[in-house]
Amino acid sequence: MLLVVRVAVLADIHGNLAALDAALEAVDNLHPDRLIVAGDVVDGAPDSEGCWQRVKGLGVPVLRGNHERYLFDFDTERADPEWSVPRFGPLRASREEVGPETVAELADLPTSWRDAGVPGLLVVHASLRSDADSVQPYTPDGDIGAMFPGDEVPELILRGHNHICMSRQWGGRRIVTVGSVGLALDGHPSAQFTVAELSGSSWQVRHHAVAYDVEATLRRFRETCYLDRAGPMGRLVIREVATGSSHLIPFLRDWRRSEDPSLERAVSTFLTQW
Is the pLDDT score of 254 beyond 70? yes
Residue of 110, 202, 207 whose CA lies nearest to 158: 207
Query: Amino acid identity, residue 208?
Result: H
pLDDT, tens digit, for every residue of 174-189? 999 999 999 999 999 9
Alpha-carbon distances of 274 from 81, 182, 247, 248, rounded to whole Å:
30, 21, 9, 12
Is the pLDDT score of 16 beyond 70? yes
* Angle, vertex CA 238, rays to CA 39 and CA 55, nearest 5: 30
Share of the chain above pLDDT 90, in %: 87
- CA atoms of 136 and 114, how far apart (whole Å): 23
Is the pLDDT score of 265 beyond 70? yes
**pLDDT given for residue 257 in this prediction:** 67
**pLDDT given for residue 38 in this prediction:** 98
pLDDT, tens digit, for every residue of 94-153? 999 999 999 999 999 999 999 999 999 999 999 999 999 999 999 999 999 999 998 889
Full DSSP string of 87-119? GGHHHHHHHHHS-HHHHHHHHT--SEEEETTEE
- CA atoms of 162 and 194, how far apart (whole Å): 14
Bridge partners of residue 166, in order along the sequence = 177
pLDDT, tens digit, for every residue of 36-79? 999 999 999 999 999 999 999 999 999 999 999 999 999 899 99
